[in-house]
Structure 1
Amino acid sequence: MKVPSMIAAELRRLTASRMGIIALVALICVPILYGGLYLWANQDPYAKFPEVPVALVVDDTGAPSTSSGTEGSDPDTVNYGEDVADNLIEGNAFDWQRMTAAEAADALRDGAVDFTVTIPADFSSALTSAAGDDPHQARIDLETNDANNYLASSMGTQAVEKIRSSVAEMVGSEAAERLLTGLSDVRDGLVTAADGATQLTDGANTAASGSTTLADGTAKLADGTAQLATGARTLADGAQQVSAGNRQLADVADRAGSAVQQAADALPQVRTDITSTLVEQGLTQEEIDRVLATLDPLASRLQDGNTRVQSAVGDVDRLAAGAASVASGASELATGAGTVASGAASANDGAAQLRDGLGTLASGAAELRDGLSDGVTQIPASTPELRTLQADTISDPVKVSSDKVASAEDYGAGLAPFFAALSAWIGIYALFLIVKPISRRAITALHSPVRITLAGWLTPAALGAVQMVGLMGILAITLGFTFHNPLGTLGVMVLASATFAAIILALNVWLGSVGQFLGLVLMVLQLVTAGGTFPWQTLPAPLAALHHVLPLGYVVDAMRQLMYGGDLARAGWDLAVLAFWLVGALAFAMIGVTRMTHRRTLRDLQPSLIG
């Protein structure tokens, strides 16, 4: 019997009755229904998030605004909680429902909402606390109920994280704009200070130049006053000597004047004595008169001399008194000149210190000017528009630019390779519930094991191909998934179905109904090791090892590469592994058929537990 004849005989057996036809059609539809319904239900769940009920509790009481009256000035108070609530409701990411805390707790417990988000009373005050002396973080409370839905908890966590990021960006932008405005004010102050420092530097340089001239003048003054002090001291010494000499002269003059005065005072008595003596000598009056006439001019001259002597003595006395005064004044002059010389020396020292100090001041002022100028250059000039843009950049500095080497259009398309591959296995497994793995008549007739094996494989493989074409139609037409390489994807699905048919055939040939059960076990193993949802690297080590051995993971990977436009070389390697499994399973089945043609046991004649 040839292979087509054996296939035709099996198909006639399957369609021999109305119930047989119904059963065959139903089993052919199993993978179509399984894959189609599951992917339809999960085609784009994110688009349904706006229908997910979430309780929103806003207890925020607001806080004083920290705005300093910059452009776009804020009101006196802010209420970030209300702002967040308005943004959430307008964003329509979920079905946000405003509730009180008690209502939200009841709704979460009853399953009326999937999670609750609470903005506490101190939310705004915490956000504005960074401007005060008690900064602390704001808090958003998330409450979930895994008894309602575990994934809702993950959704709530992601939602709150997005709220946190948006609030941080909003508050960070406002804080950054205030900071930048303050820096702009600082820059303006630095510009003014730099101008003042320039004027200070110019004035200090001028003062330093004047202090140098002053120091030179005070040095000369100190030298001159020192010389003056020396001369004044010499003058004082000379004046003292002159005063002493004049005093001696005055003493002599006084004695001489006294003697002359005594002589002048004695003239009348002397004239009388001379007259008496002449009378006693017997001179006549005429002779006495002639003698007296001779003496009287002498007396007159003596009297004149006495007058001049007394005048000279007075002059000498006055000279002596003046010399004493001069000597006293010269001494005072010498003392004052010494004081002046000392003061001039001190003034010279002070002028030198002033010169050095003003030089230091000029140098420091220049450094201050340069530092302020550098500070001005390090703070760039800005405008209100630029500061707003800078604040937005500071609050949200990183923009994620994403690109995909290969892209699945939505969540359902992302799961399609996994569930299509799994549907192929389920479809083949279901077919083997009614399809006989091998023809026992052919074995009894000792037909070729190769023909028997091929006929036993081609029948479910052909029916599996019909299943895959139907599933492909559901994915491409009904669900509208986009296929980068539709024919290649269909080819992988058909090859996968044929490979799975060979594997389950081999299990049935060798183990009968136990092999059919092992086909179910293999399906479960591949369900968890194929890496259809989470990356296979997240699996425990033993299961991760099975990922590299079992064929379903290679089917999933090949479909991804062809459906999304990925790496064709990877798809080629996956197909090579599938071909190895196909050939190996057929060879293993053929060996089993060969064994059965050469040796029959009573177990081979027993009916299958499955049918």
Structure 2
Amino acid sequence: MTAIRLGISELRRISAGTLPKLAILAMIVIPTLYSGLYLFANENPYDKLQEIPAALVVQDRGATVEDAADGTSTQTNFGDEVAEQLLSGDGGFGWVETSQADAEVGVRSGRFDAALIIGPTFSEDLASSGKFEPQQASLILITNDANNYLAATIADTIVGKVRDSIAEQVGTEAADTFLKGFASIHTNLASGVDGAQKLVDGATQLSDGTVQLVDGTARLASGAGEAASGASQLATGADELATASGRLSSGAATLSDGLDTLRSKTASLPSQTQELADGAQQVADGNAQVAGYGQEAAAAARDVVGQLGNAQTDVAAVLAELVASGELTQEQADRILPVVTQVIDDVTPRVEAAATQVEGASQKLDELSSGSAQVAAGAATLAGATPALTQGIATAASGGDQLASGAAQLDAGADTLASGAGTLASGTAQVSDGATELASSSVTLRDGTGELLSGMTELRDGLVAGLGKIPDVDEQTQEDTAKTIGNPVEVKKDTIANAGTYGAGLAPFFMSLAAWIGAYVLFLLVRPLSTRSLAAGRPAWQTALGGWIPPAVIGIAQVALMFTVVKFALDIDPVYAVGTAVLLVLASATFVAILQALNVYLGAVGQFLGLVLMLVQLVTAGGTFPWQTIPEPLRSLHRFLPMSYTVEGLRQLLYGGDLATVARDVGVLLVVLAVALLATTYAAYKQRVWSPSRLQPELVL
């Protein structure tokens, strides 16, 4: 093909002579030198951190740590443990133990890249949380960015790991103490559950007892009320008894005196009763005689009544005779007769009444005579009984004296009884009030004991529930749990694609950059388009391809050498070696096409823009830090520049990543390659006509 012949012709031109051949060789080696030297220098810098001098100052005076579980105490010094860990070779840097003054001077002068100072209270501060007097322990890291910025950053990372190690150790010990405390709490809480059960049982008995107490106090209050009422009645009766006994005592004394008087007065009673019997008999005889006289008087009165009736007739006859005789006038006689009649009428009832009274008196005298006879008989009987009566009166008088003495004693006892009954009534009233209050309080007590039982039951249930939630584990489980709490998170790397070393991690970026640099320097020697082809009027696409093929072939040599050195000299072994090589060839070809187009369109300016474009891709390709961390507008450029896809594709192929991503990256590079070649073809078409600016350019590099 014409394009191939044009390429071969251009290769012959640039390789004619020794110096041109050396120049081509140098151009082939440049990408390998750039990427190889940089990757060799940064192959694995973290393995050389022990060569970095760092100062270590330990001032920790230690602390006493008490075991809350068994009360024992131990002396510990976390500062010495940190120093031992760092000085043993696991501390990253080449640590040198020294004084604080020497460390500060060394960091300032550059003799040390960093200094770590462990203060005197480091252990005490770490142990302060166990005493509930928390103080945050601190490590002092002295760095000097004037010595090396990355050294300071690495020192931060190392000290962070030391801090994590200390935190893990302290956390493990604290968790172990905490879990031992849980074990003690579990044991004590189990005892508490037993005690709570006993409290529940006791509260149950107490509740039952208070129910009985309420019934008993109710009965007590009722009985006390009745007792108070009875005591009040007793006090009233006792007062009445005292009053009556007083009267009895007084009456008994009077009775005794009267009986004594009666005894003295009745001493002559037997003789007197005999005389009374005799007199009564005489009275009976006299009464009988008087009664006879009464009967006679009554008969005479009856005769007088009859004579008074006759006397009226006789007076009338006499008055008639006197009138007849003239001694009286009729008028006088008429006046006298009514008077006489009136007198007779008045006297007659009186006489009759007197006769009736005399008859009654006579009858009464008969009765009196009969009674007197009975009195005489009774008096005779009394006279016979009076000796015994006088003896009884004497005995009664003696008993009266005793009665008076007993009544006096009864009176005194009744007074005492009345006083005691009053006191009893007052006391039983107070007892009744107290029993009533006791009955009311016992109800409150019953309700309170019910609440107590409910609370004790809730306490027991809560303790049982709490006991089930408190772990009760063996010593080994406690130790394992403490370690897990001290270091709860273990990062297990499940790397989909693993770079292996720091140098391998940077290889995609620097190999891509080396491919661009290699393509860039080629156009210092190779012409982007064949002048002879343009002058001969060959087709534009042949001219474009003829100009692209020579640098593309040299680019293949560049990436081939670079790939060989990286793989075999630097031991960066790609997972997909063939794919890596193919992608490097495609990247080089694409970069050559881009730079060819820039040179064809802009000449020396395009060559300069190729350098600028390399610088822009240096910061936008995401070769070191993730591209998302760069600011706008550089972040947007990342998606449009070809080196971004070269770096991404090489990462996937070198580390064994996603081949679908590689396919996308290859597709993008092919599109960019095609666009660049089309652009160059169009430029070749336009440059078949020569212009003054082409014949005499303003700037030549």
For this structure pair, what is the TM-score category when the shorter chain's length is used for normalisation? 0.7 to 0.9
Shift in Å, 1:30: 0.7
Matching residue within 83, 87, 94 for 2:85 = 87
Matching residue within 573, 581, 599 for 2:690 = 599
Shift in Å, 1:344: 4.8
Q: How many pairs were matched up?
A: 586
- Give yes or no for contact 1:218–1:344 (8 Å, CA) kept in 2: no
- Give yes or no for contact 1:437–1:505 (8 Å, CA) kept in 2: yes
- Give yes or no for contact 1:246–1:316 (8 Å, CA) kept in 2: no
Correspondence for 2:222: 223
Between 8-17 and 579-588, the greater mean CA deviation after superposition: 8-17
Helix, strand or coil for the counterpart of 1:141? strand
Say whether residues 1:109 and 2:116 are aligned partners. Answer: no
Quote the Cα distance in structure 2 between the aligned partners of 1:266 and 1:489.
175
Between 246-255 and 599-608, the greater mean CA deviation after superposition: 599-608
Quote the Cα distance in structure 2 between the aligned partners of 1:401 and 1:338.
92
Quote the Cα distance in structure 2 between the aligned partners of 1:57 and 1:539.
39
Shift in Å, 1:547: 1.6
Instruction: Assess, with a 3 A threshold, how the Cα gap between structure 1 residues 399 and 160 changes in structure 2: closer, same or farther.
Output: same
Say whether residues 1:409 and 2:409 are aligned partners. Answer: no
- Give yes or no for contact 2:32–2:562 (8 Å, CA) kept in 1: yes
- Give yes or no for contact 1:226–1:338 (8 Å, CA) kept in 2: no
- Give yes or no for contact 1:55–1:98 (8 Å, CA) kept in 2: yes
Say whether residues 1:259 and 2:258 are aligned partners. Answer: no
Correspondence for 2:397: 310
Correspondence for 1:10: 10
Where do residues 227-376 of structure 1 align in structure 2 (5 Å cutoff)?
227-235=226-234, 237-238=236-237, 240-241=240-241, 243=245, 246-247=248-249, 249-251=251-253, 253-263=255-265, 301=388, 304-321=391-408, 323-324=410-411, 327-328=414-415, 330-331=417-418, 332-333=420-421, 335-337=423-425, 339-340=427-428, 342-347=430-435, 349-350=437-438, 353-354=441-442, 355-356=445-446, 357-376=448-467
RMSD of the alignment, in Å? 3.1
Quote the Cα distance in structure 1 between the aligned partners of 2:434 and 2:24.
126
Correspondence for 1:560: 651
Helix, strand or coil for the counterpart of 1:368? helix
Shift in Å, 1:267: 8.7
Quote the Cα distance in structure 1 between the aligned partners of 2:70 and 2:93.
36
Question: Under a length normalisation based on structure 1, what TM-score does the superposition of the two structures give?
Answer: 0.87
Instruction: Assess, with a 3 A threshold, how the Cα gap between structure 1 residues 227 and 248 changes in structure 2: closer, same or farther.
Output: farther
Shift in Å, 1:460: 0.6
AA of the residue aligned to 2:625: F
Quote the Cα distance in structure 2 between the aligned partners of 1:587 and 1:530.
25
Correspondence for 2:118: 119
Quote the Cα distance in structure 2 between the aligned partners of 1:145 and 1:334.
106
Helix, strand or coil for the counterpart of 2:584? helix
- Give yes or no for contact 2:63–2:127 (8 Å, CA) kept in 1: yes
Shift in Å, 1:315: 4.1
Correspondence for 1:428: 519
Helix, strand or coil for the counterpart of 2:687? helix
AA of the residue aligned to 2:430: S
Instruction: Assess, with a 3 A threshold, how the Cα gap between structure 1 residues 221 and 605 changes in structure 2: closer, same or farther.
Output: closer
Instruction: Assess, with a 3 A threshold, how the Cα gap between structure 1 residues 260 and 175 changes in structure 2: closer, same or farther.
Output: same
Where do residues 384-463 of structure 1 align in structure 2 (5 Å cutoff)?
384-463=475-554
Say whether residues 1:203 and 2:205 are aligned partners. Answer: no
Quote the Cα distance in structure 1 between the aligned partners of 2:383 and 2:691.
209
Between 527-536 and 332-341, the greater mean CA deviation after superposition: 332-341
Quote the Cα distance in structure 2 between the aligned partners of 1:74 and 1:433.
79
Helix, strand or coil for the counterpart of 1:55? strand
AA of the residue aligned to 1:381: D
- Give yes or no for contact 1:60–1:81 (8 Å, CA) kept in 2: yes
Shift in Å, 1:232: 4.5
Does 1 or 2 have the higher relative contact order (CA < 8 Å, sep 6+)?
A: 2
Say whether residues 1:150 and 2:152 are aligned partners. Answer: no
Matching residue within 573, 584, 606 for 1:515 = 606
Quote the Cα distance in structure 1 between the aligned partners of 2:176 and 2:397.
108
Quote the Cα distance in structure 2 between the aligned partners of 1:30 and 1:260.
175
Correspondence for 1:488: 579
Correspondence for 1:41: 41
Helix, strand or coil for the counterpart of 1:592? helix
Shift in Å, 1:407: 2.9
- Give yes or no for contact 1:249–1:316 (8 Å, CA) kept in 2: no
Quote the Cα distance in structure 2 between the aligned partners of 1:35 and 1:432.
20
Matching residue within 651, 675, 681 for 1:584 = 675
* Cα offsets for 1:127-169 (capped at 9, x unmatched): 2223446532111111111122110111111112222222222
* Cα offsets for 1:499-541 (capped at 9, x unmatched): 1111111222222233222222221121122111112222221
* Cα offsets for 1:43-90 (capped at 9, x unmatched): 22222223322211111122232434649x652x32111111112223
- Give yes or no for contact 1:120–1:140 (8 Å, CA) kept in 2: yes
Quote the Cα distance in structure 1 between the aligned partners of 2:206 and 2:694.
123
Instruction: Assess, with a 3 A threshold, how the Cα gap between structure 1 residues 120 and 475 changes in structure 2: closer, same or farther.
Output: same
Helix, strand or coil for the counterpart of 1:372? helix
Shift in Å, 1:205: 2.3
Correspondence for 1:31: 31
Helix, strand or coil for the counterpart of 2:688? helix
Quote the Cα distance in structure 1 between the aligned partners of 2:56 and 2:166.
16
* Cα offsets for 1:557-582 (capped at 9, x unmatched): 12222333333333222222212221
Matching residue within 549, 561, 564 for 2:640 = 549
Which of 1 and 2 has greater Rg? 2
Quote the Cα distance in structure 1 between the aligned partners of 2:230 and 2:682.
143
Correspondence for 2:65: 65
Quote the Cα distance in structure 1 between the aligned partners of 2:437 and 2:173.
60
* Cα offsets for 1:248-305 (capped at 9, x unmatched): 65245224312223226779999xxxxxxxxxxxxxxxxxxxxxxx999988646522
Where do residues 498-537 of structure 1 align in structure 2 (5 Å cutoff)?
498-537=589-628
AA of the residue aligned to 1:353: S
Q: Between the two proteins, what is the percent identity of the paired residues? A: 40
Correspondence for 2:282: none
Instruction: Assess, with a 3 A threshold, how the Cα gap between structure 1 residues 452 and 256 changes in structure 2: closer, same or farther.
Output: same
- Give yes or no for contact 2:4–2:549 (8 Å, CA) kept in 1: no
Between 320-329 and 57-66, the greater mean CA deviation after superposition: 320-329
Quote the Cα distance in structure 1 between the aligned partners of 2:634 and 2:563.
29
Instruction: Assess, with a 3 A threshold, how the Cα gap between structure 1 residues 185 and 606 changes in structure 2: closer, same or farther.
Output: closer
Quote the Cα distance in structure 1 between the aligned partners of 2:656 and 2:7.
37
Instruction: Assess, with a 3 A threshold, how the Cα gap between structure 1 residues 459 and 224 changes in structure 2: closer, same or farther.
Output: same
**Unpaired segments ≥5 residues, structure 2:** 273-380
Between 426-435 and 335-344, the greater mean CA deviation after superposition: 335-344
- Give yes or no for contact 2:203–2:452 (8 Å, CA) kept in 1: yes
Instruction: Assess, with a 3 A threshold, how the Cα gap between structure 1 residues 325 and 208 changes in structure 2: closer, same or farther.
Output: farther
Correspondence for 1:50: 50
- Give yes or no for contact 2:28–2:558 (8 Å, CA) kept in 1: yes
Between 161-170 and 185-194, the greater mean CA deviation after superposition: 185-194
Quote the Cα distance in structure 2 between the aligned partners of 1:508 and 1:231.
137
- Give yes or no for contact 2:91–2:158 (8 Å, CA) kept in 1: no
Helix, strand or coil for the counterpart of 1:307? helix
